[in-house]
Structures are given as C-alpha cells and as structure tokens.
Structure 1
Amino acid sequence: MASVLFLVGSTYGNAQQAAEDAADLLVKSGHSATVNDSPEADDLILSDADIVVVCTATIGEGDIPDNLLPLYEDVFDQKPRLDHIKYGLIALGDSSYEEFAGAGYLFKNLLHSLGAKPVLPMLVIDAIETPDPEEAVADWVASLEASLAS
C-alpha cells in the first residue's frame, strides 16, 4: 500500500476539507495518508512519501494561500532537484476570477521545473460548478488508486 502526504493551502477551509476527504478515502482503502496544513519546504524536499499531493485554494488574483506560500517561496528560492517526488495536484478556485486556480498552476509549473513527476493530471475544482467538491475528489482518488495498482 502507498503512503500519501497532502500539503494543504487553505484560507476558508475548502482545500483543507478536500484534502481530508481524499486522505480518508485512501485510508479506507488501506493506504496511509497524512494531511499537513502548515507545510514547510523540507516537508516536500525530504519527503519519503510515495506520493505528495498539493491541495490548494487560490486567493486574490491567482495567489497561494498564506499557510502554503512559505513552502512555495522557499522551494522556488532553493530550486532543489525533486526527481524523487511523485506528485498530484488538487486546485480549487472560482472561474469568475481571471486567474482561476492560479495557485495550482504555480505549483504545477514549479514542481515540473524541478523534476517532480505527476501521477495524474491536476484536478481543478471550480466553486461555481462544483459547490461541494467531495464527488470530484472521490473520482480523483479512484484514479489515483488505479494508477498505484498499475
């Protein structure tokens, strides 16, 4: 079974809830899952989890939430090689904003540039179309589990 680490960026709690829902589903399937809502750069850089999932809301004009911003800035500044990291991304946003899901795209670009390998396409959840992201998260977790089995 796999170990999954969720690094969460949340302001109003939606991304936190999405990460906790995903972690609960993984645990019910026999995997181990940890949710970290105060992540630091070393939590990502030194991770020995099989998969690291960044689950983030987007605030303001495409910005990363305050609790996740230090991780992003430190990793961006340090530019460590992350070839050993397999990752997933869950990005929550509101499509009525110009920089919809901008925080997720910032992380996607950063992780890609440092050599991390995506296990699935980024899940983008639009608050306008999906007020309760639980079903979208469940479908994404099912896809993640299928990728782990192969």
Structure 2
Amino acid sequence: MPSMRIFVATVYGGALDVAELSQPQCEEAGFQVEILEEPELGHLLDTPPDIALFCISTTGSGDFPGNFMRFADHLAEQQPDLTGQRYGLIAMGDSSYDTFCGAGRKLDGILQQCGAQRVGKRLEVDASRTPMADDEALPWIESWLPAARESLQ
C-alpha cells in the first residue's frame, strides 16, 4: 500500500480540517495516510512518503504559519534533492490581501526548485469566496487522487 503524508500548515485549524476530512478519501483510494501537524523536514527526507500532500494556509504578509516555519526554513536553507518526490498542494488564503495564498505559492516554488514533482494543479482556496475550505478541497482531492495513484506507477 503506498504511503501518503499530509503536511499541515495552519493558524486557526482550517488546513487541519481539510487534512482530516481528506484522510478517509485518500485511504479509500488505497493510501496509508499520516497527518503531520508539526512537520519536520525529516518527515520528507528520512523515510520519504510515496506522495506528499500539503494543506497550507497563509498568515501575515504571505508567511508560513508558526507550526510550519521550521519545516519551511529548513527546506529553503538545505535545498535537499527531492527528485522523484511527488506531491499535491492545497493553498488557502484570502484574495482581499495581495499576499493571497503566498505561503502555498512560496512552498510550491521551493519544492520544485528541489526537484519535487507536483501532481496536478495547485488548488488555491479563497476564504472570501469559500468560507469552509473543505467545500473546495474535498472535490479537488477526489479528482486529484487518480492522478496521484497513476504518478506512482
């Protein structure tokens, strides 16, 4: 059974809600799922998951939430070789700010610089249009999962 780690970056819990609500769908698709609320870079490097899913909200001026700062800082500083690592990304933000989904966009860029391969398009959830992020995230997960499985073949 392929492994999936869901890396959560959250301020008020919305990204964690998306991760927890996504877990059953991912398990039904045949993944062994682990949700990481306090992710460390070792969770991606030491025993890499077959696929990673990032559920990430933006805070401040396009910044990473506090629970994710250590992971993001180490990733940006170390620039590890992530060739072969596949991932999906759900970014959450509010389009009334000019830093809309800034943390998710920044993480996406760093992951790609390190050689990781994003599966499918990045989902950007706008809190000013969709107050409950899972309303957009769960249908996206459903459509993303077949591509995620196929990317591992």
Q: TM-score, normalized by length of structure 1?
A: 0.93
1:36 corresponding residue in structure 2: 36
2:69 corresponding residue in structure 1: 69
Give unmatched runs, 5+ long, in structure 2: none
Cα distance in 2, alignment partners of residues 93 and 47 from structure 1 = 30
1:14 is the counterpart of 2:14? yes
Report the aligned-residue RMSD.
1.4
Residue 74 to residue 147, structure 1, CA distance change in 2 (3 Å): same
1:84 corresponding residue in structure 2: 84
Cα distance in 1, alignment partners of residues 147 and 58 from structure 2 = 27
1:59 is the counterpart of 2:59? yes
Cα distance, 1:144 vs structure 2: 1.9
Cα distance in 2, alignment partners of residues 67 and 149 from structure 1 = 28
Cα distance, 1:3 vs structure 2: 1.9
Cα distance in 1, alignment partners of residues 4 and 47 from structure 2 = 10
Cα distance, 1:15 vs structure 2: 0.6
Secondary structure of 2:67's counterpart equals coil
Secondary structure of 1:75's counterpart equals helix
- Runs of 4+ in structure 1 over 6 Å off: none
Cα distance, 1:11 vs structure 2: 0.8
1:101 is the counterpart of 2:101? yes
Cα distance, 1:149 vs structure 2: 4.7
Q: Contact 1:21 / 1:137 at 8 angstroms: preserved in 2? A: no
Aligned residues: 150
Give CA-to-partner distance per residue, 1:83-137, whole Å, 9 cap, x none. 0210111101011111000000110110010000011111111011111122312
Secondary structure of 1:59's counterpart equals coil
Q: Contact 1:86 / 1:118 at 8 angstroms: preserved in 2? A: yes
Q: Identity over aligned residues, as a percent?
A: 33
Give unmatched runs, 5+ long, in structure 1: none
